[in-house]
Amino acid sequence: MQSPEAVTARDLLRHSLAVIAYRCDKILRDAPQSYVDFRAGHDSRTPVQILAHIGDLFAWALSIAKGRPGFHPSHPLPWPDEVQRFFDSLKSFDDYLASSAQLHAPPQKLLQGPIADALQHVGQLALLRRLSGTPVRGEDFYSADIATGRVGRDQSPPKFEFD
């Protein structure tokens, strides 16, 4: 791990993506269809709709980073495809951040916009798991093995979970 003084803004952005991947993988793992289609209210989004939106946020973040900003909402795919699209969009953005390509936006703006929005929606996904009757266990995320650059389904198992 880098010393705190050597961590760059790009490093923090990438680690934020790894945090999102870790938390989402935990929420999405073994999700039953009753969760995928669950609605908390008649005007609320379903988990598959929220996940599609998060994927769109990372596509938007990548377009901003590349200097060609554009948000394009997509229609949700079937659950397995939407989960894959989410992780693919996360990886594409992480790959760009990991490269030496110019960042065409201030890192702070990327954090306060699409990344913070995605974090909020990850919390919604977790809450909907609980409301749908299929909660995931709480966890000490500070102790979790979250690694910058690990943004796929290959997440480490939890170190310390609780109820």
Burial class (CB in 10 A: 0-12, 13-18, 19+), 59: buried
Structural domain boundaries in the chain: 8-138
What sign results for the dihedral spanned by CA atoms 108, 119, 94, 143?
positive
pLDDT along the chain (163 residues), means of 10: 83 98 97 97 97 98 98 97 98 98 98 98 98 96 97 95 89
From residue 99, alpha-carbon distances to 9, 28, 69, 92 in Å are: 14, 28, 19, 11
| Model pLDDT, residue 134 | 96
In this prediction, residue 163 carries a pLDDT of 82
pLDDT at 1 (0 to 100): 67
> Both tokens of residue 105?
């936006």
- To the question of domain 8-138 being in CATH 1.20.120.450, the answer is yes
- pTM value is 0.95
The pLDDT, as a whole number, for residue 113 is: 98
Alpha-carbon distances, residue 38 vs 30, 83, 109 (angstroms): 15, 16, 32
**Which pLDDT belongs to residue 100?**
97
pLDDT score, position 4: 72
